[in-house]
């Protein structure tokens, strides 16, 4: 291949938006909540995912992210903090608040071998404006599944009264 073609391809791919960018509109809505009062976020029932230092992933809630932001007295806005964190541009060490896990290889293989719509159909069925989990899975498989949904702007939640897990497209939350 000619060097000019290789250079063009490198430049073209470097200008593309990063894959799996978290929903900016939802970030703005979360950031606009008053974090200085101790009222839970209206998004506290949903699971969010952050990157761990060792390449693993951790499930967190918005209230934990608020706590981390306030405790560390950061020089950036809460919106900047959650934008960085939710887009996996910052990693975290495992701690008493952050429980990192490795992605399940079987779920990862399925996710990478097909489009997201087909992947979603394997595990979920449509339920109003959400998708309900069809079958029970081990905790690691479940968290891995929800992580891949998160990467595609679907947030997971558990409905205690019904005992079902759901994923909801972030754009359905506003």
Burial class (CB in 10 A: 0-12, 13-18, 19+), 11: exposed
What tens digit of pLDDT does each residue of 52-75 get? 999 999 999 999 999 999 998 889
Read off the pTM: 0.85
What tens digit of pLDDT does each residue of 126-138 get? 998 899 999 889 9
Which residues, including other chains, have CB under 8 Å from residue 170's CB and lie 6 or more apart? 22, 23, 25, 26, 153, 154, 155
- Under 8 Å between Cβ of 106 and 141: yes
């Amino acid at each position: 291949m000619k060097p000019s073609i290789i250079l063009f391809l490198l430049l073209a791919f470097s200008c593309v938006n990063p894959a799996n960018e978290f929903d900016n509109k939802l970030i703005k809505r979360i950031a606009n909540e008053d974090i200085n009062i101790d009222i839970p976020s209206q998004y506290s029932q949903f699971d969010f995912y952050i990157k761990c230092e060792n390449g693993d992933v951790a499930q967190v809630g918005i209230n934990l992210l608020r706590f981390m932001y306030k405790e560390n007295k950061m020089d950036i806005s809460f919106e900047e903090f959650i934008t960085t964190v939710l887009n996996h541009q910052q990693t975290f060490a495992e701690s008493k608040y952050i429980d990192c896990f490795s992605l399940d290889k079987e779920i990862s293989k399925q996710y990478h071998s097909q489009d997201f719509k087909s992947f979603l159909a394997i595990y979920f069925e449509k339920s109003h404006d959400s998708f309900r989990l069809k079958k029970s899975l081990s905790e690691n498989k479940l968290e891995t599944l929800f992580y891949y949904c998160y990467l595609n702007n679907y947030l997971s939640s558990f409905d205690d009264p019904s005992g079902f897990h759901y994923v909801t497209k972030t754009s359905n939350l506003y």
